[in-house]
Chain A
Amino acid sequence: MRGLNRFFSRWQNWVGVLLILSYAILAIAAPVLSPQDPKNPGPFLVKGRFNERQPQPPSLTNPLGTLPGQVDVFHTIVWGAGDALTFSFTVVFLTSLFGVTYGAVAGYMGGWVNNLLMRIADAFLAFPIIAGVVFFQQLVIMTISSQGGYYIQGQLFGMEEYAGEPSFLQTLFNLIDPLMLSLILFSWMPYSRMINAVVITLKNTEYIQAARALGASPNRIVFRHLIPNSISPAIVLAARDIGNVVLFQATLTFIHIGGNSPWGELLFIGRNWVIGPGGNLFRYWWVFVPATLAVLLFGIGWNLIGDGLSEAFEPSTAGFEKPSFHKLKQKKAKVEVQVPTALQAIRPGINPVVASKRLSISPVTENDLLLQVARGAIAEQNMDQALHAYSHLLRHHRHVSEIRNDLVKLARQFPRHAMIWALLGDALTQEGNREYANKAYEQAGKLTQ
């Protein structure tokens, strides 16, 4: 929840979310905004005579003008949104699913298996995606043409004339976009590498060992513990990838290597009116500008969301370090009020260590909670409870420097409290500050005599 709050406290993230929402609305409302021609469905709509080369400027009947061949720009922009969203979501979902599983399983297995699997991933990383696209494209076209069908701009024609049962491969290839297939095959490696590195460090932490000691199966450990705890960088990558996949699809469509992005196709059809002989961007702006904006804003929206997510997940590394007022206020409120009242609402005067165990708080957040409990107790002048919590934390080497800071302040406030000095000594010892630790212990000893 804190991450979500942080996410929405940046205006850039709002822009990203709004951009993507507007694409989604465009995709949903497409049949209303620009109905398809029932005789010739698809993302392209010809308004007027097909052999008319001259692009027509925007008018009431075609809001964004037409391309050479009288292809309506507005229609394609609107219907392209849905295509882009479904394409990118499918690709990124399948890619990340495979990549994350591969990396996590390899990391969990460890040893030479991990080494070998990650080397294989490296080899895939070096493979040129363009060759894959061409290869699958030709395979698909060949299997379809050998049964009498043909492809035009990603649409399949002529199949109904074919008599007889198509083979399994042929039916399979009819469903597959070659670019999608090669993107899935050749872009899962970053996910694996990322997850793999995190899983290897997580594998030896206490809570995984505890899970193993409790008899959890490897399956459960990987899918219930390791992946959920290492997924956040992969989510950031996925958000950026959704945009990048569409940009790549449009690029390949534009150079006619494969892929059928309607937006890329728009730019391909109209490019001679911009850069060809007699072309003029300022005269025929509608040939270039709407499609460019559609592609660009899609990429920008997802990049903004990706940046925002990475900042929300790991605030220190993303570089937006200036704490906003909103954040500061929230922090203060949490320390002084929230947790102790929550605990004491359950049972007043409760021992916080026992309580946090009884509340079955997971071990990752337990210490954070305990620290807050301790600080809350100080605010309520319940010194014994606070020191108890601190000593528990120190015994587990958690938040040592923060505790040391708190104890220094406490020691200034209550210089005659022996227990504070003793704990301060413990904290300083753990920080490796022997000299001051000895002084603190001496002070504690003097006070108890």
Chain B
Amino acid sequence: MPPFLKFLIHRFLVMPLTLFVITMLLYGGVMLTPPNARAQLYLPTNSRMTEKQLANLIELIIERYHLQAPFPVQYSYWVGTFFDGTWGYSPSLNEQVLPALLTRTPATAELTLFSLLFIIIPFGLYAGIIAGWHRGYRDSIFQSVAFFATSIPPFILALAFLVIFYINLRWFAPGRLGTPYSYEITKDTFASPTGMLLVDSLINGRYDIFADALRHLAMPALTLSLYHWATLARITRSAVMAQRRKEYITSAQARGIPSGRILWRHIFRNILVSSLTIVGLSTASLITGVYVVEIIYDLNGVSEIITTAMSSGIPDAPAILGFSVYSVLVVLILMFLLDVIQAVVDPRIRGDMIKP
């Protein structure tokens, strides 16, 4: 078997099993709520019905959605919906779960990818390399900035950003897009193949929309990035410091190679892998962070599903379970992509991939 295939199997075979166990436990938890209470979720709002009609309706709902059935039956119904591409009907969202997740994905993906590709990875690597290579005053400045970056919770940062950049300077704004533009992107003339506003506006050649989208994305992206930037930069810094002591650096210096070239040609390629591993390991906390930031800045991404499910007050099994499975899959895919990038960057990794 080729090693890459072996690695794939290693990665993805245990996952369905654990997902199975976790969702089973969660579903069992949902079933602790009596069926009558769960049927409340499906009731239409502000309808005028007599007591008897209501009782009849609840009975119908319990019948229709198998709320009274024993655990294995209910759970297998849910697993069934999982495979027919709907992931179940969520009463609190009033739509099927998978389409609901997919329509909200672009906003989340935009925030995550923008922060990861344009802020966290480039700035994290750069700051870590500079601090680890030059030491001295640059390093002390970096150390204190990174320390505060890891100590500030996102909502306090968000409040501070809102006060400075939204209330006082009026540079950035919360939400996804300003009012005039949010109508324009719903028109037929605005093609939206990806759903990510930054990409779509460029495709349509609407640079004003691009600027506005960037203006709205700046605060959430900065809030999300700060913590992860600091962690990545710290790891990079210690990796650079470890590489500096290696003999190949001494030999490169002895050959008279300029220090800039040593840093960006020799050291950079060697630390890239360990740093990317850290990004991969922190994807899970990154995704949780994305949800938190979305809720704070009112971005209407995937997290909207969990806030809707939350506000209904009654456990909504399809929504919560669908959301969990979706997040797990996203984290897995991101981690996998980072692994592949690592293998592209570093040929040594390809052999190691088969190791557990």
Q: Note all chain B residues with C-beta closer than 8 A to A131.
A: 306, 320, 323-324, 327
Interface pair A119/B309, CB less than 8 Å apart: no
Q: Considering the chains assembled together, what is the distance between the CA atoms of A307 and B238 in angstroms?
A: 14
- Beyond A123-B14, A135-B320, whether A255 also contacts B314 by CB under 8 A is no
Interface pair A250/B167, CB less than 8 Å apart: no
Contact flags A401-412 to B (C-beta < 8 A → 1, else 0): 000000000000
Interface pair A143/B327, CB less than 8 Å apart: no
B162 interface hit (Cβ, 8 Å): yes
A355 interface hit (Cβ, 8 Å): no
A7 interface hit (Cβ, 8 Å): no
Interface residues on A, range: 35 or more
Interface pair B315/A139, CB less than 8 Å apart: yes
Q: Note all chain B residues with C-beta closer than 8 A to A271.
A: 159
A215 interface hit (Cβ, 8 Å): no
- Beyond A251-B292, A319-B238, whether A125 also contacts B153 by CB under 8 A is no
Interface pair A281/B306, CB less than 8 Å apart: no
- Beyond A134-B306, A257-B307, A299-B151, whether A127 also contacts B328 by CB under 8 A is yes
Q: Considering the chains assembled together, what is the distance between the CA atoms of A252 and B148 in angstroms?
A: 20
A292 interface hit (Cβ, 8 Å): yes
Q: Considering the chains assembled together, what is the distance between the CA atoms of A141 and B292 in angstroms?
A: 22
- Beyond A123-B18, A126-B327, A128-B327, whether A267 also contacts B309 by CB under 8 A is no
Interface pair A299/B153, CB less than 8 Å apart: yes
A423 interface hit (Cβ, 8 Å): no
Interface pair A257/B295, CB less than 8 Å apart: yes
Question: When the two chains form the complex, which single residue of B18, B153, B296, B313 contacts A250, counting CB atoms closer than 8 Å?
Answer: B153
Q: Note all chain A residues with C-beta closer than 8 A to B148.
A: 300
A78 interface hit (Cβ, 8 Å): no
Contact flags B153-182 to A (C-beta < 8 A → 1, else 0): 111100100110011000000000000000
Chain B interface main SS type: helix
Q: Note all chain B residues with C-beta closer than 8 A to A281.
A: 163, 167
Query: Which of A118, A138, A248 counts the most chain B CB atoms within 10 A?
Result: A138
Stretch of B27-35, B54-62, B188-196, B246-254 with 4 or more beta carbons under 8 angstroms from chain A: B27-35
Interface pair B296/A275, CB less than 8 Å apart: no
Size of B's binding interface in residues, CB under 8 A: 53
Tell me the chain B residues, 275-318 only, with Cβ under 8 Å from chain A: 284, 287-288, 291-292, 295-296, 303, 306-307, 309-310, 313-315
- Beyond A127-B324, A319-B238, whether A138 also contacts B306 by CB under 8 A is no
A70 interface hit (Cβ, 8 Å): no
Interface pair B310/A134, CB less than 8 Å apart: yes
Contact flags A251-293 to B (C-beta < 8 A → 1, else 0): 1101101100000100100010011000111000000100010
Residue of B nearest to A288 (CB): B159
Q: Considering the chains assembled together, what is the distance between the CA atoms of A169 and B31 in angstroms?
A: 13
Q: Note all chain B residues with C-beta closer than 8 A to A252.
A: 292
Q: Note all chain B residues with C-beta closer than 8 A to A138.
A: 33, 310, 313-315
Residue of A nearest to B317 (CB): A135
Q: Note all chain A residues with C-beta closer than 8 A to B216.
A: none
Interface pair A123/B15, CB less than 8 Å apart: yes
Interface pair B14/A116, CB less than 8 Å apart: yes
Question: When the two chains form the complex, which single residue of B18, B156, B288, B291 contacts A296, counting CB atoms closer than 8 Å?
Answer: B156
Q: Note all chain B residues with C-beta closer than 8 A to A279.
A: 167
A171 interface hit (Cβ, 8 Å): no
A377 interface hit (Cβ, 8 Å): no
Question: When the two chains form the complex, which single residue of B29, B154, B159, B292 contacts A135, counting CB atoms closer than 8 Å?
Answer: B29
Question: When the two chains form the complex, which single residue of A125, A137, A251 contacts B155, counting CB atoms closer than 8 Å?
Answer: A251
Interface pair A267/B159, CB less than 8 Å apart: yes
Question: When the two chains form the complex, which single residue of B159, B162, B284, B309 contacts A125, counting CB atoms closer than 8 Å?
Answer: B284
Shortest CB-to-CB span from B245 to chain A, Å, is 11
Tell me the chain A residues, 132-164 only, with Cβ under 8 Å from chain B: 132, 134-139, 141-143, 146
Query: Which of A130, A143, A274 counts the most chain B CB atoms within 10 A?
Result: A130
Q: Considering the chains assembled together, what is the distance between the CA atoms of A267 and B292 in angstroms?
A: 16
B332 interface hit (Cβ, 8 Å): yes
Shortest CB-to-CB span from B9 to chain A, Å, is 12
Shortest CB-to-CB span from A255 to chain B, Å, is 5
Q: Note all chain A residues with C-beta closer than 8 A to B332.
A: 126
Q: Considering the chains assembled together, what is the distance between the CA atoms of A210 and B159 in angstroms?
A: 58
B101 interface hit (Cβ, 8 Å): no
Interface pair B151/A126, CB less than 8 Å apart: no
Interface pair A130/B288, CB less than 8 Å apart: yes
Interface pair B306/A267, CB less than 8 Å apart: no
Interface pair B313/A129, CB less than 8 Å apart: no
Interface pair B14/A243, CB less than 8 Å apart: no
Q: Note all chain A residues with C-beta closer than 8 A to B315.
A: 135, 138-139, 142
A66 interface hit (Cβ, 8 Å): no
Interface pair A274/B37, CB less than 8 Å apart: no
Q: Considering the chains assembled together, what is the distance between the CA atoms of A119 and B17 in angstroms?
A: 10
A33 interface hit (Cβ, 8 Å): no
Question: When the two chains form the complex, which single residue of A116, A128, A132 contacts B287, counting CB atoms closer than 8 Å?
Answer: A128
Interface pair B151/A300, CB less than 8 Å apart: yes
Interface pair A130/B15, CB less than 8 Å apart: no
Shortest CB-to-CB span from B232 to chain A, Å, is 16
Residue of B nearest to A142 (CB): B33
B69 interface hit (Cβ, 8 Å): no
Interface pair B14/A295, CB less than 8 Å apart: no
Contact flags B128-148 to A (C-beta < 8 A → 1, else 0): 000000000000000000011
Query: Which of A122, A143, A255, A300 counts the most chain B CB atoms within 10 A?
Result: A255
Q: Considering the chains assembled together, what is the distance between the CA atoms of A251 and B155 in angstroms?
A: 6
Question: When the two chains form the complex, which single residue of B34, B153, B306 contacts A130, counting CB atoms closer than 8 Å?
Answer: B306
Contact flags B1-23 to A (C-beta < 8 A → 1, else 0): 00000000000001100110010
Shortest CB-to-CB span from B35 to chain A, Å, is 12
13 contacts between A and B (CB under 8 A): A119-B14, A128-B288, A130-B291, A134-B309, A138-B313, A141-B313, A142-B314, A146-B33, A251-B153, A255-B296, A258-B310, A296-B152, A299-B152
Given A131-B324, A251-B155, 20 more A-B residue pairs with CB atoms under 8 Å apart are: A119-B14, A126-B332, A128-B324, A128-B327, A129-B288, A131-B320, A135-B30, A138-B314, A143-B33, A146-B34, A146-B37, A248-B153, A252-B292, A257-B306, A264-B155, A275-B163, A279-B167, A288-B159, A300-B148, A319-B237
